[in-house]
Structure 1
Amino acid sequence: MAHPMSSQPHAAMSALTLANEIKTLFSLPEAVFKLGQLLNSPYVTNGEIGEVIISDPALTARVLQLANSGLMDSPAKIETVSGAIALIGREALRNLLVATTVTNRFQGIPPELIDMERFWLNSVACGVIARSLAFRCRVFDSEPLFVAGLLHKVGRLALYSGRADLYRQVLAQHDSSEEGLNQAEFSVFGFTHAELGAELLRLWGLPERLQAAVAFYLAPSLAPCYRKSAALIHVASALASNIEPSVSPDEALYGENVCFEKGAWNLLGLPLYVIPPILDEAWIQAFEIFEILRPNPV
């Protein structure tokens, strides 16, 4: 899926080549892989899915934590994997497990390139805000938007991991803005992290809607399909840019990094006054969910 900035014929193939390389280097756990295969069958039972999850204690703990987090809004405590499957749903469970497992796959990235905890907190906040915006847009299957938000910059981790030396050229070229960093990525690689991220989502078997939301989140008006999903991630990414422990909600709302396209906001059809309460909600949920997904130290 070509990114809107891609004007060079070789760019998509280069992104695909690197995505395949990264997929090989940072493979998903066996239990998550088997779960994806099971869910491709219409005849699989919840019991069979539960057996795969229970075979991996870390995965079991994560499923129960997700089921009992603010992400699911469960009215009662979920104590069994079968209860978690029933609450979350099969497709949503697969998407969430793939996405949340990724947080622990990218290890060993040079610290001068990225602060991993800050990166994942920002990504979680983007997912939380995208889900909240989607609900207000009456997009009620909002779980995929959380996953897309969580993974919207995973392509940047892939570039850090697979092409660290080249990415230092990107950092040397770019100005202080996010837009400048995206332009520098395209100048050096011929594609941006958004296109590479979409290729990774495709290789991991995540739905086309999520691939499109990530591929076109930098320029949602150019998306050939799932334009509103791309706009949701675009706006959520901008709003999440300042959510971190040292920043207050008011600073996050009015910080200099909060900048989204007017056209993207218009696609959502929402009034601007919904933004402050969304940020207030995100402040609580993002830190809660981040504690569940926090990458383990190497």
Structure 2
Amino acid sequence: MFEQARTESQFSEHEIKRFMARLKDLPTLPVIVTRIMQIAKDEKSSAKDLGRMIAKDQSISSRILRLANSAFYGYSRTITSIPQAVVVLGFETVKSLALSASVFDVLGRSDSRFFDREKFWLHSIGCAKACELLAKQVRYPDPETAFLAGLLHDIGKVVLDRIFPEEYQQVANSIREASRPIVEVEKEVLLGVGHDDVGFWLGQHWKFPPLLLESIHHHHHPEDSEPHGILLASLVHVGDSITRKVGIGSGGDPLVPNIRLNSRKILNLDDDALLVLSMNLSKERANIEEFLQVLG
């Protein structure tokens, strides 16, 4: 069911099976979310088809409407129905909101001994907005997918914290003792497995599209991505770094990763472009906080 994220020589078959068994115990996304993603992907589907499917889940419907009417999207007129939201916001945006709400339901409210959940989700939403802004800045053709990739890039951290709390406490202790990147410490404590690997496995479990899987798996090293995914992985890599630099939420460690030269070249980003992104993201802070309040 799950592809191996690294070569077998880097961790034992026993450890792989251990992770797989625990991941299979995680809740699945609601069936309706899978159907929403299928409808959004189907070129023959209409706004009415998507609206009818979303309307079957009152919780998702109400949150989509609240998010659509929040300052995050900044529409002057009130959106009063799901079909109207699909028309105004678009297929992909509404799909992203539905998936965001469902992922938050499954992972967002769980307690944590390791990190502050609110700060974690603030960072994730901040990264999502940074990716969307950057996508528009560099004319990436699908800013909605960039938003979703930014939102989901660190979900492996929540999973590790839930299924391996003792080991993840060791990760937390190591980070407190020495300021090091969290993914580096994870791979030491967990025999070569980091949140990027586990997020990738969870995405497979939840049947995420390949492009999202690539961005989750390679947001720290976009150059390792498959050719079709390197642009999106680079967007998330840059978005993550800028969100940390601006100080929106927390990714679990205090470091601001250097943006990899290859990602800057791929996206054609000079220092001025990064400064523009930082300034634009800073202006969105209040809207990002409101998004989290509505999502929760």
Report the TM range for the smaller structure's normalisation: 0.7 to 0.9
CA distance in 1, matches of 2:261, 2:196: 20
Counterpart contact for 2:200–2:216, Cα < 8 Å: yes
| Cα distance per residue 1:261-290 (max 9 Å; x no partner) | 222222210221122332232233343244
Give the structure 2 partner of residue 219 of structure 1: 221
Q: Which residue matches 2:203?
A: 201
Q: Which moved more, 1:17-26 or 1:223-232?
A: 17-26
Alpha carbons of structure 1 residues 59 and 69: separation in structure 2 relative to 1, 3 Å: same
1:240 is aligned, of 217, 240, 243, to 243
Of residues 20-29 and 276-285 in structure 1, the stretch that sits farther from structure 2 once superposed is 20-29
Contiguous gaps of at least 5 residues in structure 2: none
* In 2: Cα distance, 1:257 partner to 1:40 partner: 35
Post-superposition offset of 1:72: 4.8
1:283 maps to a residue whose letter is: S
Distance 1:69 1:295 in 2: 8
After superposition, the Cα gap between the structure-2 partners of 1:22 and 1:287, relative to the gap in structure 1 and judged at 3 Å, is: farther
Deviates more, 1:35-44 or 1:188-197: 35-44
The answer for the alignment partner of 1:251 in structure 2 is none
Structure 1 position 260, deviation (Å): 1.9
> Could you tell me whether the CA contact under 8 Å between 1:130 and 1:145 is conserved in 2?
yes
In structure 1, how many angstroms separate the alpha carbons of the residues matched to 2:21 and 2:46? 31
Q: Give, in whole Å, the separation in 1 of the partners of 2:104 and 2:38.
A: 21
Which blocks of at least 5 consecutive residues in structure 1 are unaligned?
248-254
User: Following the alignment from structure 2 to structure 1, what is the Cα–Cα distance between the partners of residues 140 and 295?
Assistant: 33
Equivalent residue, structure 2, for 1:165: 166
- Inter-CA distance 121–23: structure 2 relative to 1 (3 Å threshold): farther
Residue identity opposite 1:198 in structure 2: F
User: Contact 2:67 / 2:295 at 8 angstroms: preserved in 1?
Assistant: no
Alignment: residue pair count: 286
Report the Cα distance in structure 1 between the residues aligned to 2:271 and 2:219, rounded to whole angstroms: 20
Q: Percent identity?
A: 22
Quote the offset at 1:293 in angstroms: 3.2
**Residue number in structure 2 paired with 1:260:** 259
Maintained 8 Å contact 1:15/1:199 = no
Deviations 1:128-165 (A, max 9, x none): 11111121211131111111111111000000011111
One-letter code aligned to 2:258: C
Aligned to 1:108: 110
Residue 127 of structure 1 and its aligned partner are, at CA, apart by: 1.0
Check 1:228–1:48 CA distance in 2 against 1; reply closer, same or farther (3 A cut).
Answer: closer
Task: Give the letter aligned to residue 233 of structure 2.
Answer: A
Aligned partner of residue 283 in structure 2, secondary structure = helix
RMSD across aligned positions (CA): 3.2
TM-score (norm 1): 0.81
Pair 1:78 & 2:79 matched: yes
Deviation string, structure 1 residues 3-61 (Cα, Å, up to 9, x no partner): 5xx34447597568646744643333454244345556665543343233223332112
Work out whether residues 31 and 52 of structure 1, in 8 Å CA contact, stay in contact via their aligned partners in 2. yes
Contact 2:234-2:263 within 8 A present in 1 as well = yes
Q: Is the 8 A contact 2:123 2:249 kept in 1?
A: no
* Cα distance in 2 between the residues matched to 1:43 and 1:136: 30
TM-score by length of 2: 0.81
Residue identity opposite 2:231 in structure 1 = K
Query: Does the Cα contact within 8 Å between 1:67 and 1:78 map onto a contact in 2?
Result: yes
- More moved, 281-290 vs 200-209: 281-290
The equivalent of 2:66 in structure 1 is 65
